[in-house]
Structure 1
Amino acid sequence: MQGQNVSLYEQFNGRYDFTFLGNTMNPQENTYQPTPTIFTTSAATLTLQPGDVVEKAFLYWAGCGTGDFDVKLNGVDISAQRTFSNVLQTQFNFFSAFADITTQIQTTGNGTYTLSDLDVTSFINLHYQNKTNFSGWAIVVVYYNPNLPLNQLNVYDGLQVVSQQQTQLNITLNSLNVIDNNDAKIGFLAWEGDVGLANNETLSINGNILSNALNPPTNAFNGTNTITNSSILYNMDLDIYNIQNNIAIGDTSADIQMTSNQDFVMINAIVSKLNSQLPDATISIDATNQACNSNILLVDFTVYNVNSTEILPAGTPIAIYANGEFIEYTETLTPIPIDGSWSDQISILLPFGIPSSFDLQFVVDDIGTGNGIVIEINEDNNEDSQAIIQNSSPTFNTLENLVSCNEGLTKGTFDFSHYEELVKTDSDQEVYFYETIDDALNQTNPIINTTNYIANTTPKEIYIRIENENCYGFTSFLLTTRNCPPTVYNYVSGNFDGYNDVFFIEGLRDIFLNFEVKIYNRWGKWLWTGNQGKPDWDGYVENGVDEKYAPAGTYYYVIYLNDPDYNEPLVGYLYLTR
């Protein structure tokens, strides 16, 4: 046989109770059918009391065969959200389906519910041979009423079998917390039980056989509905038992045992209701923040008491761990009401030597040893963890300083666009250039043109901000200029027409500040001396007596740069025309 173990599906804590409604599609018990017949529609009535408010409603439907997973409830299309299956002797398949129909039940309320389009007719001839032809449906309704005591209500489901081939089935109901067994009860949704088969067919809890007026001790699954007091719920059971004397205060689980030496029975859902007035502390890590290269971690967290039936007291301890090692302690400062929460922030000093990445764990109701001081509904949901990658500055490559020609008074033009990739040690890093360290820190005024950047004065430091996913770092490089050799244009028109009127030397003025230019005629006679403080030579003769301007001809120049990088003067000739 195959199946799905019955386990906790949803838990409710508060002033809750439950009821069932549902119906079979069998016109009579399959054991006594002269011919295989089955319906596709049946109805049942929901009757809640004044003050009862529907909290949840779960629809289950089941039958022989591989499954019909689309049905209608009061004409509304319902598709299975979860499914279960089982197989008997390899050829007899069974299915069950589930849908949360809370909104529909809340909207409709009390009244008649008709389930339709549940069609297993194509399977009943095969199953009739084994007398396992059936189908039916049931709704588990969880409701709230302010006049109810505080209860813990658990809904378990799956699809497990007890039969002639497997005569005993044990199911453990976990996640219980019994503090008062008054009015404790348990409900069962089971399929395919037969009233005429009573061969050692028992239902027990914690070793005590359950029975009531409709369900004899040796025929627990006999087609009955204890809500409606019906004994003609053919081949399905909706039964609720009082278990007040069968479960003890302090129990955290209950053992369900079913036996059958003949009848084939499938358990689909179990609902338990126990009195419980306890808090349930849970915690979440909401946000973490760590400054670059800091060992202080700021953590926002929230402690909840939402799945509870009692206030969570102030002073509930909270232990903080890194990779399982206790590093910090705090506690709640105020009582947290039922369905309430409390948020806070803590600064954690990370211990020396902690890895760059680690698991941060917050555990509520833990004094730092794994032990708590508050009795809770659930002691296994007190932890939240988050992977932390510490905010370490990114690594980067060292860059060389850049040098360009002095364009005057240390001005220079530079191309450092390629430095964006050269500085990276990871292709995912982001790189930005700035003129000041304050701009780099504040991410203001980034340098946009890195291909043709003009530095008006040098040396100038350029700052680089490198960012990774979590942090940032800085590096820098210098822009400097050097005095490049000047370019001499050795033609002077001397006619004052605005073109080539003077002896122009590119890269001289404002660069070689102590330069000196001397002009000689072809016989070596000195005519003129120039420097940073004088205009360029236009043919004027400084020692001329009769003529103030030299005639057209060839002249010679000597340029003394007076720069430590240029020990020899520049010497050449120039042409002067008129």
Structure 2
Amino acid sequence: MLKKLYCLIIICQFLIPSCIKAQDISLYTQINGRYDFTFIGNTMGPDENEFQYPTFLYTESSATLNLASNDRIERAYLYWAGSGVGDTNVKLNGIDMSPDILSTVVGTSSNLTYFSAFKDITSFVQLTGNGLYTLSDFDLNDLVTTYYDNATQFASWAILVVYENPNLTLNQLNIYQGLEALSPNRPLGIIDNMTIQLDNLYLISNTGAKIGFIAWEGDRLIQFEEKLSFSANGTTNVLSNSLNPSFNAFNGTNTETGATNLYNMDLDVYSIENYIVPGTTSASVSLQSGQDYVMLNTIVTKLNSQLPDATIVLENPISICNSKEVTVDYTVSNLNSTEVLQANTPISFYIENQVIATTYTQNIIPIGSYENGTITLTIPNSIPSNFTLIANVDDTGNGTGIRPELIETNNSFQIEIELTVSPTFNSLNPLTSCNLGLTKGLFNFSSYFEMVKTNPTHLISFHETYNDAVHNINPILNSSNYNAVTTPKEIFVRIDNGCFSVTSFQLLTENCPPVVYNAVSPNGDGSNDTFFIDGLRDIFMNFELLIYNRWGKLLWTGNNNKADWNGYVEEGIGSSLAPSGTYYYILYLNDTNYSEPLTGYLYINR
């Protein structure tokens, strides 16, 4: 507020600031239940401000909190304000406090800045409880001479305390805050004014309705065109009480304690029982001044609002494999409320603005309580497998409700849903390995774990039968060294994402070229006692092997049904014991892939 000026009017016109509005006051929080509020605080000013007086400010001051024994502290907010850009390092009962929010306004004529700081100190006050609170290290003395020419040197602080008491009515507390400044235009006599809208109200009874203010820079000796008004339902009333005349609202008082010496600050509470009617949802506060400089920081309303507040949360969506149904759990709560939520409150479920189902709460939900439920929803075929499911409580299916609530804008919850459908997969090519005999083969298909996936989160397992894959039993554990007893062999692959798909691939064998070991030492020591050809027997079933000496004489013939040659000449062909030396073979594989015989030599060492 503009201060008392004891100098010439023409001098004052240059000294008194006109401040711009900043940090619009708006709803900060809403508290519902058996709550009320009070203010404590104190000034750092030693006296009423005048031109170049006082010349100093205190750096600490105290106030006492004295709640009833059954009052429980719910919230506590500390505010401190003064000249300058802001003292952000103060102490409360010796504990350092730095602001959560710092707001400023700047005078347009003097370019002087004023600030207000805010800090949530709920836990601090809950722990401290009743008693003396001292704000210290709040030192703005180096700014006094900069501001005292227009008598706006000030420093003050306050604590807003919200408390619960079981004997209180069910109320709704709205706390609005910011920092807005009111300063008259020059010359004197031109009235400055501002109006602050109070929304999010809902009044069921006007009994005990009240409004409180935290304001800075008030001066009880400045009374020119100063007015504080409250408007609701088309009617405007000027607020006043025994400490705050209708013509001097901001006069350094605390309605809660009866103090009249809170220089440059106001902690005032007014009854508005006669100015508001049940059903009111909004109101406004208007301030005007022809001289006082006003900084409005915080507005608190207490209204008797016995209403529920329905909210809903969705969780745990479950869909059946390849089904258009999804089951979801929901919780309807009535937490931040002042009345029970009646049974049969509708709940509607939407996808893309399409209502797909409506259900209802089953029981009366008490204040601060909740009800759980589960619903199975059938999803229209036109909806893709990924979609957003929206649930609105107190919604009959057309966006309208049947229950008046404290807050009408918090009834919705949404969750992302992905229907579980069989995963897609990549096709797998057959694997071919060498025939180890009678179509047996050794295979490594471990790389197929990743190759079959179309999504890295898919879970893969291999199985020997389709039934095992479907039931996810008996997985193949040695995919890098799998022994197929016979081929072709079909391996089944399960691809799992909560649902599953099954694909398969073939294991095949081919007759690889045999390997001839051409050293023979038939001495009975168990090593190279016969002429051995690896990859021949039980693979090339119709092979024919001919052994010749170096002069071309046939010594021995063999096939798949005959043992390997052990160096003995067959009866009737010659000597029964082939001597040491070089011999020759011709191997007819009689396989379509090997049309030419394999030839070579072998050496017998006796």
Instruction: Say whether the fold is shared (TM-score over 0.5).
Output: yes
Q: CA deviation at 1:236?
A: 0.7
Structure-2 separation of matches of 1:346 and 1:170: 48
Distance change (3 Å), C-alpha of 1:457 and 1:339: same
* Deviation string, structure 1 residues 185-228 (Cα, Å, up to 9, x no partner): 11111111221222221111111111111111121111111112
Structure-2 separation of matches of 1:268 and 1:443: 70
Q: Which moved more, 1:245-254 or 1:194-203?
A: 194-203
Distance change (3 Å), C-alpha of 1:405 and 1:337: same
**1:274 equivalenced with 2:310 (yes/no):** no
**1:42 equivalenced with 2:61 (yes/no):** yes
Partner of 2:212: 187
Distance change (3 Å), C-alpha of 1:159 and 1:253: same
Counterpart of 2:201, as a letter, is L
1:100 to 109, 120, 136: 120
1:157 to 167, 170, 177: 177
**1:315 equivalenced with 2:344 (yes/no):** yes
**1:383 equivalenced with 2:412 (yes/no):** yes
Distance change (3 Å), C-alpha of 1:449 and 1:119: farther
Q: Is the 8 A contact 1:305 1:311 kept in 2?
A: yes
Distance change (3 Å), C-alpha of 1:227 and 1:546: closer
Structure-2 separation of matches of 1:267 and 1:447: 75
1:30 to 23, 43, 49: 49
Distance change (3 Å), C-alpha of 1:489 and 1:268: same
Alignment TM-score, normalising by the size of structure 1? 0.91
* Deviation string, structure 1 residues 138-171 (Cα, Å, up to 9, x no partner): 1111111111111111111111122214812111
**Number of aligned residues:** 575
Q: Is the 8 A contact 1:527 1:543 kept in 2?
A: no
Q: CA deviation at 1:354?
A: 1.4
**1:110 equivalenced with 2:130 (yes/no):** yes
Distance change (3 Å), C-alpha of 1:329 and 1:396: same
Counterpart of 2:202, as a letter, is N
Q: CA deviation at 1:489?
A: 3.0
Structure-2 separation of matches of 1:273 and 1:44: 23
Q: CA deviation at 1:67?
A: 0.5
Distance change (3 Å), C-alpha of 1:373 and 1:445: same
1:481 to 509, 512, 518: 509
Q: CA deviation at 1:435?
A: 3.6
Q: CA deviation at 1:398?
A: 2.6
Q: Is the 8 A contact 1:308 1:338 kept in 2?
A: yes
2:257 to 215, 228, 232: 228
1:204 to 212, 229, 250: 229
2:275 to 246, 257, 264: 246
Secondary structure of residue in 2 paired with 1:128: helix
Q: Is the 8 A contact 2:80 2:155 kept in 1?
A: yes
**1:408 equivalenced with 2:437 (yes/no):** yes
2:198 to 157, 173, 183: 173
Distance change (3 Å), C-alpha of 1:475 and 1:91: farther
Partner of 1:549: 577
Secondary structure of residue in 2 paired with 1:43: strand
RMSD (Å), alpha carbons: 2.8
Distance change (3 Å), C-alpha of 1:289 and 1:88: farther
Q: Which moved more, 1:437-446 or 1:549-558?
A: 437-446
Distance change (3 Å), C-alpha of 1:461 and 1:84: farther
Partner of 2:74: 55
What residue ranges of structure 1 are gaps of 5+ in the alignment?
none
Partner of 2:106: 87
* Deviation string, structure 1 residues 446-470 (Cα, Å, up to 9, x no partner): 65663x55444433344555577x8
1:132 to 138, 148, 152: 152
Q: Which moved more, 1:279-288 or 1:543-552?
A: 543-552
Q: CA deviation at 1:244?
A: 0.5
Counterpart of 2:227, as a letter, is T
Q: CA deviation at 1:256?
A: 1.2
**1:495 equivalenced with 2:523 (yes/no):** yes
Distance change (3 Å), C-alpha of 1:467 and 1:267: farther
Structure-2 separation of matches of 1:70 and 1:409: 90
Structure-2 separation of matches of 1:421 and 1:158: 59
Secondary structure of residue in 2 paired with 1:30: coil
What residue ranges of structure 2 are gaps of 5+ in the alignment?
1-19, 186-190
Structure-2 separation of matches of 1:26 and 1:527: 130
Structure-2 separation of matches of 1:124 and 1:454: 94
Counterpart of 1:172, as a letter, is Q
Percent identical among aligned pairs is 53
Structure-2 separation of matches of 1:226 and 1:378: 30
* Deviation string, structure 1 residues 45-75 (Cα, Å, up to 9, x no partner): 1121232121111111111110012222222
Q: Is the 8 A contact 2:104 2:114 kept in 1?
A: yes
Partner of 2:84: 65
Q: CA deviation at 1:536?
A: 0.9
Distance change (3 Å), C-alpha of 1:270 and 1:547: same
Alignment TM-score, normalising by the size of structure 2? 0.87
* Deviation string, structure 1 residues 416-451 (Cα, Å, up to 9, x no partner): 45555654556x55674524464687497565663x
Q: CA deviation at 1:14?
A: 1.2
Q: Is the 8 A contact 2:421 2:499 kept in 1?
A: yes
Distance change (3 Å), C-alpha of 1:294 and 1:203: same
Q: Is the 8 A contact 1:431 1:464 kept in 2?
A: no
Structure-1 separation of matches of 2:193 and 2:496: 65
2:292 to 232, 254, 263: 263
* Deviation string, structure 1 residues 289-345 (Cα, Å, up to 9, x no partner): 335544222322211100011111221111111122222222212221110112222
Counterpart of 1:496, as a letter, is G
Structure-2 separation of matches of 1:28 and 1:260: 22
